[in-house]
Structure 1
Amino acid sequence: MKHTISKLVGCAAAITIGTCLALGAVAQEKPATIRVGIQSVPPDEVYAARDWGGPYNLKVDISSFSSGADILKAFLGEQLDVGNGGSARLVTMAAQQPEKFYIVAANQYGGDRYGVIVKKDSPTTSVKELKGKKIGAVTGSGTYNTFRVYLEQNGMKESDFQIVNMKVEDLRSAVQQGLIDAAVAWEPHVAIAETMGVVKRIQSMDGVNESPNFVLVSRDFVEKNRDAVIRYVATLIDLGNLIKNKPEEAGKLAAQQISKKGVETDPKALELSLTRIKMDPKVTDNLLGELIPIAESMRAAGKLKEVPEFKKLVREDIFEEALKLSSAANKGN
Structure 2
Amino acid sequence: MKFQYKPVYLLFVSVLLTSLLLTACQPAAAPAPTAQPAPVEVQPTDAPAAPAAPAATEAPTAEPVVELSPVRYGGQLYPEEYLLKGAPALFSDAGLQVEHTLFSSATEGNQALISGAVDINVASDSKTVALFSAMPDQVVIIGVVQRGDRYSTLVRPDSSYTSWYDLKGKQVGIRMGTGAEQVVRRYFEKVGDLKWEDFQWVNLKVEDSIAALTSGSIEAFTAWEPTPAIAEAQGAGKVMMSYGDIALTPVLLNTTVKYAESHRAEIVHFLAAHLAKAEMIKSDPKKSAELAAQAASAQGATVDPAAFEKIFTRVDFSLDLDETVIAALQDTANFLVSTGEIKEVPTLKWDASYLEEARKLVEGK
1:257 CA drift (Å): 1.6
Mapped pair 1:137 → 2:174: yes
Instruction: State the SS of the aligned residue for 2:311.
Output: helix
Of 313, 318, 322 in structure 2, the residue corresponding to residue 284 of structure 1 is 322
Question: Is 1:235 the equivalent of 2:252?
Answer: no
Q: Determine the C-alpha separation between the residues in 2 that align with 1:176 and 1:222.
A: 44
Equivalence for 1:321: 357
The 1:146–1:126 alpha-carbon spacing in structure 2 relative to 1, beyond 3 Å, is same
Greater fraction of residues in helix: 1
Q: Answer yes or no: is 1:84 the counterpart of 2:122.
A: yes
Residue in 1 that maps onto 2:32: none
Report the CA distance shift for 1:307/1:197 in structure 2 as closer, same or farther (over 3 A): closer
Does the residue aligned with 1:70 lie in a helix, a strand or coil?
helix
Q: 1:239-258 residue pairs with structure 2 within 5 A?
A: 239-258=277-296
Return the letter of the residue paired with 1:317: S
Q: Are 1:182 and 2:220 an aligned pair? A: yes
Summarize the Cα distance change of 1:224–1:315 in structure 2 as closer, same or farther, 3 Å threshold. same
Report how far residue 283 of structure 1 moved. Answer: 1.4
Following TM superposition, where does structure 1 have runs of at least 4 consecutive aligned residues deviating by more than 6 angstroms?
Answer: none
Cα distance in 2 for partners of 1:160, 1:221 equals: 42
1:99-248 aligned within 5 A: 99-110=137-148, 112-131=149-168, 133-158=170-195, 161-167=198-204, 168-248=206-286
Structure 1 contact 118–124 (Cα < 8 Å) conserved? yes
Q: In the alignment, is the contact (CA less than 8 A) between 2:106 and 2:178 conserved in 1?
A: no
Q: CA 1:209–1:76 in structure 2 vs 1: closer, same or farther (change >3 Å)?
A: same
Partner Cα distance (1:303, 1:137) in 2: 20
Question: What one-letter code is carried by the residue in structure 1 that aligns with 2:183?
Answer: T
1:44 offset after TM fit, Å? 1.1
1:68 counterpart letter in structure 2: A
Letter of the 2:250 counterpart: P
CA 1:276–1:141 in structure 2 vs 1: closer, same or farther (change >3 Å)?
A: farther
CA contact (8 A) 2:91 2:273 kept: yes
Query: How far apart are residue 201 of structure 1 and its match?
Result: 1.2
Contact persistence 1:137–1:163 (CA under 8 A): no
Secondary structure of the 2:90 match is: coil
Q: CA RMSD in A?
A: 3.0
Residue aligning to 1:10: none
TM-score by structure 2 length?
0.72
| Cα distance between partner residues in 1 of 2:341 and 2:157 | 44
The answer to whether the 8 A contact 2:126-2:182 is kept is no
CA contact under 8 A between 1:135 and 1:161: conserved in structure 2?
A: no
1:62 aligns with 2:100: yes
- Quick one: which amino acid aligns to residue 76 of structure 1? I
CA distance in structure 2 between the partners assigned to 1:36 and 1:173 by the alignment: 29
Identical positions, percent: 27
Equivalents in 1 of 2:166, 2:341: separation in Å? 37
Question: Which is further off, 40-49 or 157-166?
Answer: 157-166
Q: Deviations over 1:106-132 (max 9, x none)?
A: 12332x221122222334444444455
Contact 2:127 2:179 in 1 (8 A): no
| Structure 2 gap segments, 5+ residues each | 1-56
Residues 134 and 161, structure 1, Cα contact 8 Å, conserved in 2: no
Structure 2 residue 73 is the aligned partner of structure 1 residue 36: yes
CA offsets 1:268-296 (integer angstroms, 9 cap, x no match) = 22322343433211112222222324434
Q: Give aligned pairs, total.
A: 304
Structure 1 alignment gaps of length 5 or more: 5-23
Match for residue 46 of structure 2?
none
Q: Quick one: which amino acid aligns to residue 66 of structure 2?
A: E
State the distance in 1 between where 2:84 and 2:223 align.
23
Residue aligned with 2:93, SS:
helix
SS of alignment partner, residue 148 of structure 1? helix
Label 1:267 to 1:219 Cα distance change in 2 as closer, same or farther (>3 A): same
Bigger drift between 245-254 and 135-144 goes to: 135-144
What's the secondary structure of 1:99's corresponding residue? coil
Q: Kindly state the Cα deviation for residue 46 of structure 1 after the two structures are TM-superposed.
A: 0.9
Read off the aligned partner of 1:270 and give its amino acid letter. F
CA change 1:127–1:247 in 2 (3 A) is farther
Give distance in 2, aligned partners of 1:302 and 1:182.
25
